[in-house]
């Protein structure tokens, strides 16, 4: 394997990531830590865990607005690794009230926060209430909101005074190129939308393909300020505009 770290994940980097995953999964009782799965990075995590002969609980947020290809992708991953994937759905009463009051596309007018709060944040908060830690596929080079993502951290967005949540980001120092070379080299399943120019995939109305030389998350909430492009799952990453240099 090449040692060019701008393109490939060298063997020692893979080993370091596996070591962090092994430590995380060994620290907590089964069922008290889980991988949050939605995109290419998360499947790399699942593959790395499987390559060590270990297992981890996996959950995914089913917002009800995902692309058909994303649902097909979830099913391919389930079958490929012979694992259970828990799908978390929004509260139907809260969702129904939002749609009744504001329709299906209010986020284009008043921001994605309210819709994501119901479709993503509330289900995630409920799930994390049953866990002591979770594992994400965040990378530092994904966006301006993630440049300081550590390998592990206390999740200040979801921890409470009674219940602290630890958050692991084992791929924080991987690049997009390293992720995709790993996927190709080890024949890891991926979302078919990537072959159609989608570099970061969320809900269908809030995601579009990116053009040449655009940043990979440019197709997410494209009508909003770059520093606020977090749906709330990683709210502690959001950058206050006041803190940005002039």
Q: Report the catalytic residues.
A: 231
Instruction: Give the residue from 53, 62, 56 showing the smallest Cα distance to 43.
Output: 56
Question: Rounded CA gap, 113 and 107, in Å?
Answer: 8
How many CB atoms are closer than 10 A to CB 18?
A: 16
Instruction: Give the residue from 131, 157, 109 showing the smallest Cα distance to 56.
Output: 131
Q: Which residue has the tokens 């060019």?
A: 4
Is residue 49 within 8 Å of 202, Cβ to Cβ? no
How many CB atoms are closer than 10 A to CB 28?
A: 14
Strand pairing category for 57-61 and 86-88: parallel
Q: DSSP letters along 22-66, please?
A: HHHHHHS-TTSEEEE--SHHHHHHHHHHHHTT---EEEEE--S-B
């Amino acid at each position: 394997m090449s040692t060019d770290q701008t393109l490939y994940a060298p063997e020692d980097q893979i080993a370091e990531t596996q070591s962090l995953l092994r430590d995380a999964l060994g620290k907590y009782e089964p069922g008290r830590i889980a991988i949050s799965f939605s995109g290419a990075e998360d499947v790399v995590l699942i593959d790395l865990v499987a390559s060590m002969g270990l297992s981890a609980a996996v959950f995914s947020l089913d917002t009800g607005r995902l692309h058909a290809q994303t649902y097909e992708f979830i099913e391919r991953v389930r079958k490929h690794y012979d694992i259970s994937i828990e799908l978390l759905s929004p509260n139907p009463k809260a969702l129904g009230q939002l749609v009744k009051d504001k329709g299906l596309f209010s986020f284009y007018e008043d921001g994605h926060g309210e819709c994501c709060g119901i479709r993503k944040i509330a289900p995630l908060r409920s799930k994390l209430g049953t866990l002591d830690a979770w594992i994400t596929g965040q990378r530092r080079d994904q966006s301006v909101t993630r440049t300081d993502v550590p390998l592990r951290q206390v999740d200040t967005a979801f921890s409470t005074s009674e219940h602290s949540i630890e958050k692991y980001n084992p791929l924080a120092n991987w690049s997009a190129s390293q992720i995709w070379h790993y996927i190709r080299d080890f024949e890891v399943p991926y979302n078919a939308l990537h072959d159609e120019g989608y570099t970061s995939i969320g809900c269908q109305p809030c995601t579009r393909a990116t053009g040449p030389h655009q940043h990979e998350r440019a197709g997410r909430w494209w009508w909003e300020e770059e520093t606020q492009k977090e749906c709330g799952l990683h709210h502690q990453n959001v950058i206050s505009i006041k803190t940005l240099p002039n």
